[in-house]
Structure 1
Amino acid sequence: MPFPKKVLLVINPIAGTEDKDELIENIREMSASRGFALEVYKTDGENDRKAIEKIMDDFQPDRVLVAGGDGTINQIADILRDYDTVMGLLPLGSANGLATNLGLPTDIEEGIEVALGEHTFCLDGLLLNGHLGLHLSDLGLNARLVKNYEEGSVRGKWGYAKEVIHTLSEHELFRVRITTDTETYETEATIIIIGNATMYGTGVVVNPGGDMCDGHFEIITATHFDFIELAKLLAGSTELDPEVVKISRATRAEIECLDQKVLFQVDGEFLGSVNRVKAQVLPALLTIAVPDRES
């Protein structure tokens, strides 16, 4: 993959705590030293899609850098699925789930080098009730955790830890029917994870067999967990009782909630309560700049 000649930087001005002007200036200096043309677009949450599509059509960049959290990355990825370009990610959010799974550096200077580098990775996407998913989505326990954290008053790791305890104390079972390419089954569950990636942004590994570019996704169904098993799951333990954890691989699936609506989140965005989730893999949807795997 050659180095880029034209670069579009899409930046969320309110994501994270980094100095956005300094970040933009660093990338401007790099563009001058490396001889590539640079366009900068700051999101405003109103007309971003139309504005970015116009830049893509007029400027025709061969690299798009996205500086923001998972929500911004997801939004731009949904636009870029219709273009032949490489995405470079500069994670500025609190969770940064996709960046964690791709092994991207947390240092912003190193991140810029990777985002503009020559090493790339194919990334599948998931279509989930019409929403694009790139790493992990779920029904039940973790969706409640996302909801509680969004509604809580404490940010950061302490706020997250507080909501883990709160969420574990109020989790409940729900009954579902799951239909995939190869099987149909009914079960009770406390969490159902639809996994393209292996771990949450916190580093919790819940899908150790996941591969983000194999044309499949996994459905991880956990049932009848007591407090200890739930804590082990959220801590990333792989030593779980096989009688209460079922993992299925699929290219498409439908999850029907049989007795109640269930809380649902996609890539860290809480989407409310649903009766069903329809999931479909979108193979090799994006090309992402990543670190050199051999270095």
Structure 2
Amino acid sequence: MKTKIIVNPISGTQNHRNIHKIFEKYLKDYEIVYTEYQNHAFEISKNLNKKFDRVIVAGGDGTVNECIRGLIDKDIILATLPCGSGNGFSLHNNIDTNLDNAIKNLSSYKEIKSDVWTINGNPFINVSGLGFDALIANSFSKLKNRGFSSYIKLVLKNIIAYKPQEYNIEIDNEEINTDAFFIAFANASEYGNGAIISPKSKINDGLLDIVIVNKFNKLLIPKLIFFIFKKRIHKFKKVIIKQGKMIRITPKSKESFLVHLDGEPKKISGSLDIRISKRKMKVLINE
């Protein structure tokens, strides 16, 4: 099996320049390339030669998203290694955080076809959203030192002052009007680092989980965070989780607003139209 390995050397909190030593131990017939700038992983994936059967992505969810955008029209297998700040998609798929073990066991992983979703035509495969988590994703993307502690500091710095926004939400044939703190679109279950935003999400069920965190008393913030890390966010009284295939969300404000796609921020105007892609992605999971 011919493999292309795409490494983001600055993802997460460690330098991954020496990861090639682990690949040398366990893999044969591969080519490795290190990304050098934003969207480089997308360019590599988009221009991938047909001789490759598999792509291994060593990076975080943002790097995975770049590769998804480039690979969506190709018949190729995707394997991910948790080398980023959060690694939600890899962790959802039970990929070992010990890179030596993860790479050694690649041959034993199961191939499944994962759903891919789009927001106004922009693909995502893990978790996306708008509201407070998009604000944090945008601020986090600008940091030089990106890690779990940096993310938590941003949350604590901004959470008290943030004001919920009014949204009109259409999920298939149901309509909801609400003031929401944030709305997450979960194909997989996890933001990363054990933060489970949608405990029952499955990446191959043809359904998107829409997690609506309605306006709540800020004194309950510790309880919400506790529930997220205990895989119990669905038990928080101000949380509604719906499933659907065709979703439209329209903010009451007419101004442009932030969303994030697998943690990567993007500014959008008007409504969000969320659809399932006609193409699925072959991914490796550790059952």
- Aligned-pair distance for 1:220? 1.6
* Residue of 170, 184, 188 corresponding to 1:197: 188
Matches within 5 A, 1:264-283: 264-272=259-267, 274-282=269-277
Of 69, 91, 101, which residue of structure 2 is paired with 1:78?
69
How does 1:160-171 map onto structure 2 within 5 Å? Answer: 160-171=151-162
| Superposed displacement of residue 227, structure 1 | 1.3
Shift of 1:231: 3.3
The structure-2 alpha-carbon separation of the partners of 1:151 and 1:142, relative to structure 1 and needing over 3 Å to count, comes to same
Q: Report whether the alignment pairs 1:101 with 2:92.
A: yes
Equivalent residues in 2 for 1:227-266, closer than 5 Å: 227-235=218-226, 236=228, 237-238=232-233, 239-241=235-237, 244-261=238-255, 262-266=257-261
What is the TM-score normalised by the length of structure 2?
0.87
Q: Which residue of 2 aligns with 1:43?
A: 35
Asked if structure 1 preserves the Cα contact closer than 8 Å seen for 2:119 and 2:274, the reply is yes
Deviation readout 1:135-177 (Å, 9 max, x if unpaired): 1111111112223334457643332232221121111121111
SS at match of 1:249: strand
* Pairwise CA distance, 1:87: 1.1
What is the deviation of 1:126? Answer: 1.0
**Quick one: structure 1 residues 84 and 249, their matched pair in 2 at CA, closer, same or farther if it must change by over 3 Å?**
same
1:145 to 2:136 alignment? yes
1:211: which partner in 2?
202
**Counterpart amino acid of 1:56?**
N
> Matches of 2:10 and 2:197 in 1, distance apart?
30
Partner SS, residue 56 of structure 1: coil
Q: Distance in 2 between matches of 1:274 and 1:102?
A: 33
User: Counterpart of 1:67 in 2: which secondary structure?
Assistant: strand
Deviates more, 1:124-133 or 1:272-281: 272-281
Contact 1:213 1:284 in 2 (8 A): no
Equivalent-residue separation in structure 1 for 2:208 and 2:174 (angstroms): 15
Q: 1:201 to 1:132 in 2, by over 3 A?
A: same
- Sequence identity, in percent? 24
Rounded Cα–Cα distance in structure 1 between residues aligned with 2:82 and 2:276: 24
Structure 2 residue 16 is matched with structure 1 residue 23: no
* Corresponding residue SS for 1:170: coil
**CA RMSD for the aligned pairs?**
2.4
Cα distance in 1, alignment partners of residues 222 and 211 from structure 2: 16
Paired with 1:136 and 1:181, the residues of 2 have a C-alpha distance of 19
- Alpha-carbon separation, structure 2, partners of 1:271 and 1:179: 21
Residues of 1 paired with 2:274 and 2:40: CA distance? 28
Unaligned runs of 5+ in 2: none
Q: In the TM superposition, what is the alpha-carbon distance from 1:120 to its structure 2 partner? A: 2.1
* Number of equivalenced pairs: 280
Label 1:30 to 1:156 Cα distance change in 2 as closer, same or farther (>3 A). closer
Determine the structure 1 residue equivalent to 2:110: 119
Distance 1:19 1:61, change over 3 A: same
Q: Which residue of 1 aligns with 2:49?
A: 56
What's the secondary structure of 2:177's corresponding residue?
A: strand
TM-score (norm 1): 0.85
